[in-house]
A and B are shown apart, each in its own frame.
Chain A
Amino acid sequence: MIQHIGEVLAVIAAAFAVGSIIGWIAYRWIDRTDYAFDQRDLTDRIGRLFGIRTPPPAEEPVATGRPAIAPTPAAARPVRPRPEPAAVEPRPETRAEPALRPEPTRAVTVVPIALPEPAPEPIRLESAAKSEAAEDLRKRVQSSSRAIAWREARDERLRPGEAAALIAGGAVAPVEPEASAAERKGNGKPPPEITAPVPAPPPPGRGDDSPEHDEPWAAATAVWPMDLRQPGPPEARPVGILALPASGAAETRRALPPVATPPLAADDIWSDEDEAEASPAARPAAPPPASEDRPPSLEAAPPERDNLRRIKGIGQGFEKRLNQLGIYRYAQVAAWTAGQQAWISAELGFPGRVERDEWPAQAGRLAKGADARATSHAEVVRDP
């Protein structure tokens, strides 16, 4: 290897380089996120290799929401010794806005930036796949209850505006398959917009702080199907009807397609009694059936209890169940009759387990101080 060290290192380096390229391509193939390419970042990296400091780009200052300070050039800056820092700490409210209070000894130019008001973005679906999902959802909306559709809209992770428009019966702009395919390639066509009627703003008489004004869907989510179980007479319960905002959605109400919602029968209403019947956990733990075969149990745990898990066939779960049945000692197990063994096996859910593993015999040996495993039935049979 020593005489070929050059070639070996060259081969290793070449393999590493090829592997790196393959790994890079593999990751980019899997994660095909279209990250924004920043030419300035690349220039900065290359410049740093050669110790060249990349000049900052001549772009407009970043809008940070407050007036920015454009420093004057160094030549125009008055040459003046820097004053001693003031001993008095500025007040907190002035410290919070340092840009608004420049130092008086510096010549600065305050360039106020008029921040444009952000234009409200139209409700639109971001991708063709999402619009397909929305179309499917719209079909389901028209054929099912609206409350269910609301839940589905929540699960589909549509934006509330989209869900509201869909449930209001608004039509998503139909996207042909070829158009959607071209859309994925990004030929510049804008994504399809929802032409649903947007709920009109509330009348001026109503305060803007009403939840219906800010979030028209809030009232709908307030009446969730899970909230149908309310005290009161059944006729007073809201049954599966989407609660639209009481005001400000006149167009939305008019645009609602007629949804044939069959009246709910009494059995359709999920009540507390139904839940009590359905969930086994809600049922109270039934006591073990009183039988003459039930072995005698101890009411409370004795001060010293035997390790029932030394009996072959008893694990942690069986030990816990036996303790719940009031069985703690070897003597108790050893005294089981055949009927009691069958009862215990049935109670544990494994009929025949006690008889097969001979728990009473093992317990009898353990009670005498012997080892259950050494003389267990299974070992005797297997190794005569």
Chain B
Amino acid sequence: MLFVLAQYWPYALGAALLGVAVGWWAASPAGGRRRGAGARQR
């Protein structure tokens, strides 16, 4: 695993940044946190 991380860390970094963006979006109201059944009553 360390060998893989040492060699392919840019991919891991890119995936982490992408994950940050996706997590940010998902936590935002646009990402569906306020959608769903209960959102209509809020």
Bind each other: yes
A: residues with CB less than 8 A from B are 1, 4, 7-8, 10-28, 31, 35-36, 38, 40-41, 44-45, 54
Chain A contacts for B15, CB-based, 8 A: 11-13, 15-16, 19
A1 to B7, CA, bound (A): 9
Question: A31-B28, A41-B37 provided; 19 other pairs, C-beta below 8 A?
Answer: A4-B8, A7-B3, A10-B1, A12-B8, A15-B16, A17-B19, A20-B19, A21-B23, A24-B23, A24-B27, A25-B23, A25-B27, A26-B20, A27-B24, A28-B27, A31-B27, A35-B33, A35-B42, A38-B39
Q: How many A-B residue pairs have CB under 8 A?
A: 105
Partner of A38, one of B8, B22, B38: B38
Residue of B nearest to A33 (CB): B29
A22 to B18, CA, bound (A): 11
- Report whether B38 and A12 are in contact in the complex, using a CB–CB cutoff of 8 Å: no
Chain A contacts for B41, CB-based, 8 A: 38
**Max chain B C-beta neighbours (<10 A), residue from A7, A44, A54:** A7
Chain A contacts for B11, CB-based, 8 A: 8, 11-12
Q: Which 7 A-B pairs have the closest CB atoms?
A: A19-B19, A23-B23, A38-B38, A41-B38, A20-B23, A27-B27, A23-B20
- Report whether B12 and A23 are in contact in the complex, using a CB–CB cutoff of 8 Å: no
Given contacts A11-B12, A15-B13, A16-B18, contact A26 B36 (CB under 8 A): no
- Report whether A23 and B42 are in contact in the complex, using a CB–CB cutoff of 8 Å: no
Distance in Å: Cβ of B40 to nearest Cβ of chain A? 10
From DSSP, what is the main secondary structure of chain A's interface residues?
Answer: helix
Chain A contacts for B5, CB-based, 8 A: 11
A14 to B42, CA, bound (A): 35
A8 to B36, CA, bound (A): 35
A19 to B20, CA, bound (A): 4
- Report whether A24 and B42 are in contact in the complex, using a CB–CB cutoff of 8 Å: no
Distance in Å: Cβ of B28 to nearest Cβ of chain A? 6
- Report whether B37 and A44 are in contact in the complex, using a CB–CB cutoff of 8 Å: yes
Chain B contacts for A8, CB-based, 8 A: 4, 8, 11
A41 to B27, CA, bound (A): 16
**Max chain A C-beta neighbours (<10 A), residue from B1, B23, B25, B36:** B23
- Report whether B16 and A27 are in contact in the complex, using a CB–CB cutoff of 8 Å: no
Chain A contacts for B20, CB-based, 8 A: 19-20, 22-23, 26
- Report whether B42 and A11 are in contact in the complex, using a CB–CB cutoff of 8 Å: no
- Report whether A24 and B1 are in contact in the complex, using a CB–CB cutoff of 8 Å: no
